[in-house]
């Protein structure tokens, strides 16, 4: 619980997409910091679980410029973490107009408001801006997206970099974790439940990622805010793994039968949007500049399991 510090002495931080997985972790961590006055925003009603919250919630549809301007005018945020985005890669490929509106237009309007109100914009991007031929990638690698989602995120990166305000771009990769209402599954729980039920699970071994615990991603974003760091930062996990390797580590952690995990490759799966194969992100810069140090994937398995058990017991 945050200390009762007068609002005037705190920095106001606006978080978009607060009802999502990352948004929940951002609000939880930021609202426990007495240095911040947290404004959580989302398109609909507040779905955040915290009792006696040390934050305010406001409705704000980032695809509506008038909503953005009204919230900025009312709260005058010093920091904005823009986590709201359309992230369903296949849906983005099909519903391109909606994807453009929610990702590109929305970020353009957020960036304009940040410039007008002299806010520090921290924008969430993705490893899908890369083609997956030469990963893992550092912050200076050349983007070349393979799908429409990746293109919109790269386009919004360019918008952010062209703004006159203080800005930071956070690139991340395969975020996993537990939402308070258990509304999202993740690879850890999917593998655990599948093996417990005796199912055969097919996982690819030709895709490389650096899976990122949602709590670590939130922590990295807030380190950027705390240090008022600018530029591009990779904020991800530290283990470069294939989905097959993630599944094996999950089975080992729970003492489950690994023989039900079937090694395969991407050619056996048909998806609307093309995925990059070898991405993953190098986090040397974040370690050096921010003192960021993420959990290992094995540590993340234990954290997700504990959170799942606590949420299910409620």
In this prediction, residue 9 carries a pLDDT of: 73
Mean pLDDT value of segment 125-145: 97
C-alpha 242/C-alpha 208 separation (Å) is: 5
Alpha-carbon span 213 to 220, nearest angstrom: 11
Dist. CA 107–CA 124, nearest whole Å:
10
Average pLDDT over residues 112-126: 98
In this prediction, residue 52 carries a pLDDT of 61
Rounded CA separation 277/152 (Å): 19
Torsion sign over Cα 247, 248, 251, 257: positive
Peptide bond into 162 cis (omega under 30): no
- Averaged pLDDT for residues 23-50: 92
Report the pLDDT value the prediction gives residue 3, as an integer from 0 to 100: 39
Tell me: pLDDT of 5 over 70.
no
Under a CB-based contact definition with an 8 Å cutoff, are residues 300 and 188 in contact?
Answer: yes
DSSP, collapsed to helix, strand or coil, labels residue 298 as: helix
pLDDT at 7 over 90: no
CATH level 2 (architecture), domain 7-178+211-237+281-296 = 3-Layer(aba) Sandwich (3.40)
* Residue that is written with structure tokens 């991800």 in the block: 236
CB 284 within 8 A of CB 225: no
Please, what is the average pLDDT of the chain? 93
The mean pLDDT value for 70-85 works out to 97
Contact 110, 63 (CB under 8 A): no
For residues 297-314, average pLDDT: 88
Q: What is the pLDDT of residues 154-167, one digit of tens each?
A: 999 999 999 999 99
Stretch among 97-111, 239-253, 298-312 having the lowest mean pLDDT:
298-312
Choose the most confident range, by mean pLDDT, from 32-36, 229-233, 301-305: 229-233
199-231 as b/e: b if 16+ CB within 10 A: eebebbbebbbbbbbbbbbbbbbbbbbeeebee
Q: Which residue has the tokens 């369903």?
A: 88
What is residue 58's three-state secondary structure? Answer: strand
At 269 the pLDDT is 83
d(C-alpha 301, C-alpha 280), whole Å: 19
* pLDDT at residue number 311: 79
Can you say how many angstroms the Cα of residue 90 is from the centroid of all Cα atoms in its chain? 18
Would the pLDDT of 189 be above 60? yes
Cβ contacts of 14 within 8 Å, gap of 6 or more:
39, 41, 71, 72, 75, 77, 79, 80, 81, 119
């Amino acid at each position: 619980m945050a200390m009762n510090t007068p609002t005037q002495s705190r920095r106001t931080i606006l978080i978009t997409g607060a009802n999502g997985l990352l948004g929940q972790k951002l609000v939880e961590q930021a609202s426990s910091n007495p240095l911040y006055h947290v404004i959580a925003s989302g398109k609909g009603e507040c779905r955040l679980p915290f009792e006696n919250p040390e934050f305010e919630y406001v409705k704000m549809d980032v695809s509506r410029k008038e909503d953005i301007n009204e919230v900025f005018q009312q709260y005058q945020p010093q920091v904005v973490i823009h986590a709201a985005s359309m992230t369903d890669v296949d849906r983005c490929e099909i519903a391109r107009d909606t994807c453009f509106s929610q990702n590109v237009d929305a970020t353009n309007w957020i960036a304009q408001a940040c410039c007008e109100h002299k806010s520090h914009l921290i924008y969430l991007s993705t490893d899908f801006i890369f083609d997956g031929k030469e990963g893992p990638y550092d912050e200076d690698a050349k983007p070349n997206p393979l799908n429409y989602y990746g293109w919109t995120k790269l386009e919004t990166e360019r918008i952010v970099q062209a703004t006159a305000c203080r800005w930071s771009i956070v690139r991340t990769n395969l975020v996993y974790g537990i939402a308070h209402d258990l509304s999202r599954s993740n690879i850890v729980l999917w593998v655990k439940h599948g093996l417990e039920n005796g199912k055969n699970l097919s996982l690819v071994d030709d895709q490389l990622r650096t899976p990122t615990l949602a709590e670590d991603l939130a922590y990295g974003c807030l380190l950027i805010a705390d240090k008022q760091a600018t530029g591009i930062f990779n904020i991800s996990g530290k283990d470069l793994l294939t989905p097959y390797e993630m599944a094996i580590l999950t089975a080992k952690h729970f003492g489950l039968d690994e023989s039900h995990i079937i090694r395969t490759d991407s050619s056996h799966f048909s998806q609307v949007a093309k995925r990059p194969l070898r991405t993953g992100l190098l986090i040397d810069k974040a370690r050096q500049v921010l003192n960021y140090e993420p959990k290992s994937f094995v540590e993340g398995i234990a954290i997700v399991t504990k959170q799942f058990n606590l949420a299910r017991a409620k």
